[in-house]
């Protein structure tokens, strides 16, 4: 059970499938151990759970300390949290020798990714997820890129690793491409924030649909990540 508790410390919101993938790399077969352990941890109060659609989703109690069951962060936080865990599980299964760094360990660095993974060669992958509303309306993407431009060296120094930042956006692929190239289609649904991608040479960008189509285990070798030259690359040469 301790392994499941440890996984929950680096997960955000997670489904049973996320835990099963984390430990087995498989998602198609029923995994009774995961089912029984999660049920037991929930009953013992070592895991919080709420119903999300037809599924139960889980989170470490400290992540929602003081929250009642009916107010656990609200729907937007749940959607964001599940996307962050999905990204973590996919990258972890692509290269399991990495050491996962939870979000809280980046506090004080100026920029706080959803999580990070440090690899044996001294490289580090930092993950950022952005919802459609944040991408189009809040200016968060531009702000995050500018912040990483200022703070990435501090993060690299703290963890003694050379970092790349991967942004996954919940927008169509063409919008991500336009963003990276700095194009704007004023008045259309494809309006994107002003491009700041070129200011951060260690950043890569992709859309959520393309990200989720990659088979489990191939997240680092799939050529779906835009760099600031507007071309798509795999990440394996960088981490």
- Per the listing, tokens 């992709």 go with 206
How many angstroms separate the CA atoms of 219 and 196, rounded?
Answer: 25
pLDDT exceeds cutoff 70 at 70: no
Classify residue 28 by burial, with Cβ atoms within 10 Å: 0-12, 13-18, 19+: exposed
Burial class (CB in 10 A: 0-12, 13-18, 19+), 43: exposed
* Domains parsed from the chain with CATH numbers: 2-72 (1.10.10.10), 85-233 (3.40.91)
Cα of 27 vs its chain's centroid, Å? 19
Task: Give the pLDDT of residue 71.
Answer: 61
Q: What is the mean pLDDT of residues 82-104?
A: 97
Q: What is the pLDDT of residue 73?
A: 59
pLDDT digits (tens, 9 = 90+) for 49-61: 999 888 899 999 9
pLDDT at 202: 92
Q: Strand 203-207 to strand 55-59: parallel, antiparallel, or no bridges (unpaired)?
A: unpaired
Question: Mean of the per-residue pLDDT values for the chain?
Answer: 89
Residues 6+ apart with CB under 8 A from 55: 15, 16
**What span, in angstroms and rounded, lies between the C-alpha atoms of 81 and 12?**
5
Question: Which tens digits make up the pLDDT trace of 98-116?
Answer: 999 999 999 999 999 999 9
* pTM of the entire predicted model: 0.90
Q: How far is CA 195 from the centre of its chain?
A: 21
Residue 4 has pLDDT above 60, yes or no: yes
Question: Could you write out the three-class secondary structure of the chain?
Answer: CHHHHHHHHHCCCEEHHHHHHHHHCCCCCCCHHHHHHHHHHHHHCCCEEEEECCEEEEECHHHHCCCCHHHCCHHHHHHHHHHHHHHHHHHHHHCCCCEEEEHHHHCCCCCCCCEEEECCCCEEEEEEEECHHHHHHHCHHHHHHHHHHHHHHHHHHHHCCEEEEEEEECCCHHHHHHHHHCCCCCCCCCCCCCCCHHHCCCEEEEEHHHHHHCCCCCCCCCCCEECCCCCEECCCCCC
Residue range 151-178, pLDDT digits in tens: 999 999 999 999 999 999 999 999 999 9
Render pLDDT for 187-236 as a digit per residue (tens, 0 to 9): 333 344 444 454 578 999 999 999 999 999 999 999 999 998 899 999 99
Over residues 104-129, the mean pLDDT reads 97
């Amino acid at each position: 059970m301790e392994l499941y508790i440890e996984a929950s410390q680096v997960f955000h919101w997670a489904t049973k499938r996320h835990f099963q993938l984390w430990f087995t790399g498989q998602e198609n077969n029923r995994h009774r151990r995961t089912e029984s352990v999660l049920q037991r941890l929930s009953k013992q109060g070592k895991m919080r759970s709420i119903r999300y659609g037809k599924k139960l989703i889980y989170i470490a109690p400290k992540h929602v300390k003081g929250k009642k069951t009916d107010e656990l962060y609200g729907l937007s936080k749940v959607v964001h949290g599940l996307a962050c865990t999905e990204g973590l599980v996919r990258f972890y299964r692509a290269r399991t020798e990495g050491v996962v760094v939870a979000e809280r360990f980046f506090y004080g660095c100026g920029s706080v990714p959803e999580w990070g993974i440090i690899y044996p060669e001294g490289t580090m992958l930092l993950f950022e997820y952005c919802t459609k509303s944040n991408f189009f309306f809040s200016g968060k993407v531009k702000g995050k890129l500018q912040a990483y431009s200022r703070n990435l060296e501090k993060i690299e120094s703290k963890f003694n690793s050379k970092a790349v930042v991967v942004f996954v956006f919940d927008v169509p692929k063409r919008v991500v491409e336009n963003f990276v190239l700095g194009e704007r289609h004023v008045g259309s649904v494809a309006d994107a924030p002003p491009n700041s991608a070129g200011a951060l040479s260690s950043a890569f960008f992709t859309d959520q649909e393309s990200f989720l189509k990659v088979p489990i285990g191939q997240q680092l070798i799939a050529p779906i990540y835009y760099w600031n030259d507007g071309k798509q690359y795999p990440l394996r040469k960088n981490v």
